[in-house]
Structure 1
Amino acid sequence: MTTLDRPSEPRPDTRDLTARRFERMRPFGGESAPRFETRGLPPGPRWPVWAQSVALLRFRHHFVPRMWRRYGDVFTVRIVPGGRPLVLFTRPEHAKEIFAGDPEVFHAGKGNAILGPIMGEHSLLLQDSSEHKRARALLMPAFNGHALRGYRGLVDEVAREEVGRWHSGDEFRSLDRMNALTLEVILRVVFGVTDENRLVELRPCVNRTVNISPAVLLGWGYPALQRFGPWKKTVANAYRLDELIYAEIRERRTAVDLDQRTDVLSRLILAGDDGDRLTDEELRDQLVTLLLAGHETTATALAWALHELGRDRAQLARAREAAHTGDDDHLEAALKEAMRLHPVIPMVVRTLMQPATVGGWDLPAGATVGPSILIAHGRADNHPDPERFDPDRFLGQNPPVNTWIPFGGGVRRCIGAGFSLMEGVAVLRQILSTYDVTAIGPDRPKVRNITSVPRRGSRIRVG
């Protein structure tokens, strides 16, 4: 038996840490949002709660536009647990109100509670108020402009290695190759893992964490399910991933060259002062958050960009010229337009801790509110001819405020937005300066978990 065949012995407290996280972070238990009133809410379907929940989680690309056409710019969907109201808003002025809302009232963490067992209570996506402010301040230096410039060389290297394995005439699902590439970026640039044995162990654990169905995701709220089938396998994988991440964190803390390393994990270990540094649990939760928020989302945006460029020869020619001449602005515009046309995340949510007025509606404490990214990106009054792929929308200008919101907005705007765009541009530059790209057949979105991906994997031919 090799060292890769034989699981490494976990430290005594690793499994306890994971078990305690599962207990504390049950999406439908523990500390909950305030109780809510049901009167005076915007209109919405009267289907059973379970049916609305399934429609929103599994069939959102049909369900949400249908509700918008039926009920107008503001509508209510009732979801598990207990028929809690989710009020979706679709106009930019609504998004502005929500993003500018008092963070003591508009809590983002509770709206993302379904991710709690995976991400952990210290996750930037799940924290609110002063805890969120502290965590964001500690993480921000790892994602400022100076730090991004330092990561660019390694991202270029990873992209070059991936594209170097391709051959003229190859046909493949670009989503699969982009997932492999962005995973490698996360593991090497964010986690800073260089040991090939640990990379071999981490890759499948990470893929199993990301590739879960909506049914398995909902299963985190029902512990009884975790003794069976896919839920049991998901829990076992979570324990193993934690073992590997905690081992990496503990070894990194003792690295003699820690202060010279430039990966995100090393920067986070050194962040803050002696009296306020991130604990092992906090580091684990932030690493998993960066992994889940920055791996599949960027890969999916890249796959859609390759799909759209591969079916429009004129746009492809412009993008390839940009790749050869170093016109990163044009490549970024193509990536942003792919993100507009094919939203990866459907909405941005906040849970009201006190009654609040949004879009002229007086809403009760306990209601969850949020702009619909699906509708905002597809409205003709926000983006003329919205079904057309047109990177010029982002060249020398930006779309109207709060009409393009893949990274959210306000004080909760995604901390990794700059990293994602930098990575995406580097990958497109490497691909398009090396190969022509042709899309093979049409594609459309399907729901994977909380994200939407190309149903056919965005198949392309390179030549």
Structure 2
Amino acid sequence: MVTISKNRQTEPIKNLPDGPKTPRLIQTIRGVLQPLKYLEKSSKEYGDFYTVKFAGFPTQVVISNPQAIQEIFTADSKTFYAGKGNQFLHPLLGEHSLTLHDGNYHQQQRKLLLPSFHGERMKAYGNTICQITEQVINQWKLGEVFSARQAMQEISLKVILRTIFGLDEGERYDQLRQLMGELIDTIGSPLKSSFILLPILQKDLGNWSPWGKFLRQKQQINELLNAEIRERKAANDFSGEDILTLMMLAKDEAGQPMSEAELRDELMTLLFAGHETTATALAWALYWIHSLPEVKEKLLKELNSLGENPDLMAITKLPYFNAVCCETLRIYPVVLFTFTRIVQTPIRIMDYEFQPGTLLSPCIYLVHHREDLYPQSKQFKPERFLDRQFSPYEFFPFGGGNRRCIGMAFAMFEMKLVLATILQRTELKLAENRPVLPARRGITMAPVGGVKIVATK
């Protein structure tokens, strides 16, 4: 646990930290096309606090000091705006998305959504996750090279559609599957990602323009989500166990349910956040497990110790298995930063006094690669998570504070059950004997080439 000095009042207060002096456009290009290289170079040169300037965004401070991050995560929620810092996601998620709001509305929506991802409700999804994984596995052809990321996308999207909507067949199910895949691919490269990250490029020049195509795909998805919500309401049947049913039944403190627009945008948030991020993490996990034979051997030994047809909850509690998942999320976190905090009232963070309007960006990647916390940080070593327990300011792949991802427990649950099912039912090997590197894919960092893999048994 990070401890905060009691003698800070005697320390000198610094102005905004120094940072790269290159023009804003050059910083933007480097940040989009070479994010890890640019982060590491800047951190090495300027330290745990440095200022960056990106086109279309206000000046922001990148922070990679655990003590500072603790102070940010534990500060009164009124100290910062966080939803306002996510407005670049508005075209993707919609104006009512939980991630774009602060204050009472954010707390209310979070309170309505949280029960769907915890306790007995989550356990009930375990069999569904395993069944869907087996269905996808059965489509793999022995000796045929396929993309692990695409296969994991298929699994994660089916899991989302089944658990959120209760859908596993039908025209609307097929349309959502196709459109979500197309939407992700529209922003699926470092260059294409710039249309989401840079408002200046968001010009609708018709169906064939990148932004125009994106907007029309998003509109089609919205129409499908609206149609599903209206049908549920018209049928007045709320007996299902899916998350949409729970959301439609949920009421705020005034006894009011969510509006159609709120339901739609929260569904889109869950679809996007629970689909691409989980698939990316699973692809990375398969890469590391199959590139390091000793890791795979230890995993299988631990899994086999549970015997045949093990209890699903027992799988999720295996210590080495958990360590492998954590190390996967450490070495290449799916997103590089937590949600940006915009200072609302003056606050002192360590040696800095930040004024209202300042953007603070805690960097997950840089903290996860601090050599004082993770020696030989570029190496995949699950034992780190067996040897010590890291604080939520030293390891935070799902963000932190009151903005931590509400689907964190579900994502870890799904990740472990999918991997366990694959390891127990198949034998895989990497199709290419070379390191796989990360690259920007939308707002996530995904393996270049998707991790080419072959089923041998």
Report the TM-score when normalising by structure 1: 0.87
Instruction: Check conservation: 1:306, 1:437, Cα contact below 8 A.
Output: no
Change in CA separation of 1:286 and 1:396 when aligned onto 2, cut-off 3 Å:
farther
Change in CA separation of 1:242 and 1:181 when aligned onto 2, cut-off 3 Å:
same
Determine if the alignment matches structure 1 residue 406 to structure 2 residue 397.
yes
Shift of 1:89: 0.8
Q: Write the distance in 1 (CA, Å) between the matches of 2:113 and 2:200.
A: 29
Determine if the alignment matches structure 1 residue 178 to structure 2 residue 152.
yes
Instruction: Check conservation: 1:114, 1:221, Cα contact below 8 A.
Output: no
Higher deviation after alignment, 113-122 or 413-422:
113-122
- Cα deviation 1:85-114 (Å, max 9, x = unaligned): 110111111111111122222111111110
What's 1:384 paired with? 375
Determine if the alignment matches structure 1 residue 433 to structure 2 residue 424.
yes
- Cα deviation 1:51-80 (Å, max 9, x = unaligned): 222222332111011000011111010123
Quick one: which of 256, 262, 265 aligns to 2:241?
262
What's 1:457 paired with? 450
Shift of 1:48: 1.6
Q: Write the distance in 2 (CA, Å) between the matches of 1:194 and 1:177.
A: 17
What's 2:218 paired with? 238
Which runs of 5 or more residues in structure 2 are unaligned?
1-13
Quick one: which of 132, 142, 164 aligns to 2:106?
132
Change in CA separation of 1:251 and 1:234 when aligned onto 2, cut-off 3 Å:
same
Q: Write the distance in 1 (CA, Å) between the matches of 2:279 and 2:202.
A: 31
Counterpart residue type for residue 75 of structure 1: Y
Shift of 1:147: 1.4
Change in CA separation of 1:392 and 1:252 when aligned onto 2, cut-off 3 Å:
farther
Quick one: which of 37, 46, 53 aligns to 1:78?
53
Q: Write the distance in 1 (CA, Å) between the matches of 2:209 and 2:17.
A: 39
Shift of 1:297: 0.8
Quick one: which of 135, 148, 160 aligns to 2:134?
160
Shift of 1:450: 1.0
Q: Write the distance in 1 (CA, Å) between the matches of 2:302 and 2:21.
A: 51
Counterpart residue type for residue 269 of structure 1: M
Change in CA separation of 1:127 and 1:242 when aligned onto 2, cut-off 3 Å:
same
Q: Kindly tell me the number of residue pairs found equivalent between the two proteins.
A: 423
Quick one: which of 398, 407, 417 aligns to 2:408?
417
Determine if the alignment matches structure 1 residue 199 to structure 2 residue 199.
no
Counterpart residue type for residue 366 of structure 1: G
What's 1:148 paired with? 122
Q: Write the distance in 2 (CA, Å) between the matches of 1:218 and 1:226.
A: 18
Determine if the alignment matches structure 1 residue 286 to structure 2 residue 266.
yes
Instruction: Check conservation: 2:203, 2:212, Cα contact below 8 A.
Output: no
What's 1:35 paired with? none
Which runs of 5 or more residues in structure 1 are unaligned?
1-38
Higher deviation after alignment, 223-232 or 345-354:
223-232
What's 1:21 paired with? none
Q: Write the distance in 2 (CA, Å) between the matches of 1:297 and 1:84.
A: 26
Counterpart residue type for residue 41 of structure 1: L
Change in CA separation of 1:355 and 1:222 when aligned onto 2, cut-off 3 Å:
farther
2:86 alignment partner, SS class: helix
- Cα deviation 1:283-326 (Å, max 9, x = unaligned): 11111111111111111111111100101111101212333434
Higher deviation after alignment, 103-112 or 298-307:
103-112
Determine if the alignment matches structure 1 residue 347 to structure 2 residue 337.
yes
Quick one: which of 305, 315, 320 aligns to 2:285?
305
Change in CA separation of 1:195 and 1:310 when aligned onto 2, cut-off 3 Å:
closer
2:449 alignment partner, SS class: coil
Counterpart residue type for residue 301 of structure 2: E
Shift of 1:387: 1.9
Q: Write the distance in 1 (CA, Å) between the matches of 2:99 and 2:46.
A: 30
What's 1:446 paired with? 439
Q: Write the distance in 1 (CA, Å) between the matches of 2:323 and 2:419.
A: 11
Q: Write the distance in 2 (CA, Å) between the matches of 1:192 and 1:55.
A: 42
Change in CA separation of 1:397 and 1:144 when aligned onto 2, cut-off 3 Å:
farther
Instruction: Check conservation: 1:323, 1:428, Cα contact below 8 A.
Output: no
Higher deviation after alignment, 216-225 or 338-347:
216-225
Change in CA separation of 1:224 and 1:171 when aligned onto 2, cut-off 3 Å:
closer
Determine if the alignment matches structure 1 residue 214 to structure 2 residue 197.
no
Determine if the alignment matches structure 1 residue 374 to structure 2 residue 370.
no
Quick one: which of 338, 345, 351 aligns to 1:360?
351
Report the TM-score when normalising by structure 2: 0.88
CA RMSD of aligned residues (A): 1.9
Quick one: which of 72, 76, 81 aligns to 1:107?
81
Q: Write the distance in 2 (CA, Å) between the matches of 1:73 and 1:364.
A: 19
